[in-house]
């Protein structure tokens, strides 16, 4: 069964460093998402991406964040200058078609900012 994959599974970085989290959505899907989950807290929407542009973003998704689909398969989340409070699990999700609301999540990347 097709699945969303994410790399790396765990990323440790120093405060102020840039990180890029990578996702490979399910191949025929058109809508892509990033969420984060701070330890012990709820899953929070960051951004959605469709047709090579951001379709919606939350207030969390400030100028430090950016997303890109550099080729036909990868979908990346970049954090330019990480802060301690960026430490969280970051989940990528994809969805196939506007007529279905079903999104499929990847296993997540645990980001630890020291």
Whether the CB-CB separation of 5 and 24 falls below 8 Å is answered with yes
Q: Does 31 bind other proteins (CB under 8 A)?
A: yes
Q: Tell me whether strands 103-105 and 43-50 are parallel, antiparallel or unpaired.
A: unpaired
Number of residues counted as binding other proteins (CB under 8 A): 26
Phi, psi of 9 (to 5 degrees): -75, -30
Binding mask 53-72 for other proteins (x = CB under 8 A): --xx-x--------------
Query: In whole angstroms, what is the distance from residue 86 CA to residue 37 CA?
Result: 10
Which of 15/54 has CB closer to other proteins?
Answer: 54
Q: Does 25 bind other proteins (CB under 8 A)?
A: no
Residue 100 belongs to what H/E stretch? none
Query: In whole angstroms, what is the distance from residue 40 CA to residue 54 CA?
Result: 28
Which of the ranges 13-21, 29-37, 61-69, 77-85 carries the binding residues for other proteins, by CB under 8 A? 29-37
Which of 14/101 has CB closer to other proteins?
Answer: 101
Q: What's the start-to-end Cα distance of the chain, in Å?
A: 37
Binding site for other proteins (CB under 8 A): 4, 31, 33, 35, 42-45, 48, 50, 55-56, 58, 89, 91, 93, 100-108, 110
């Amino acid at each position: 069964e097709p699945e969303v994959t994410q790399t790396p599974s765990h990323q440790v970085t120093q405060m102020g460093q840039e990180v890029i989290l990578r996702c490979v959505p399910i191949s025929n899907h058109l809508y892509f998402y990033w969420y984060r989950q701070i330890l012990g807290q709820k899953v929070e929407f960051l951004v959605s991406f469709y047709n090579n542009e951001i379709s919606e973003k939350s207030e969390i998704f400030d100028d430090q964040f950016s997303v890109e689909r550099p080729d036909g398969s990868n979908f990346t989340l970049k954090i330019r200058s990480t802060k301690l409070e960026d430490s969280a699990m970051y989940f990528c999700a994809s969805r196939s078609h506007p007529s279905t609301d079903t999104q499929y999540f990847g296993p997540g990347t645990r980001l630890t900012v020291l």
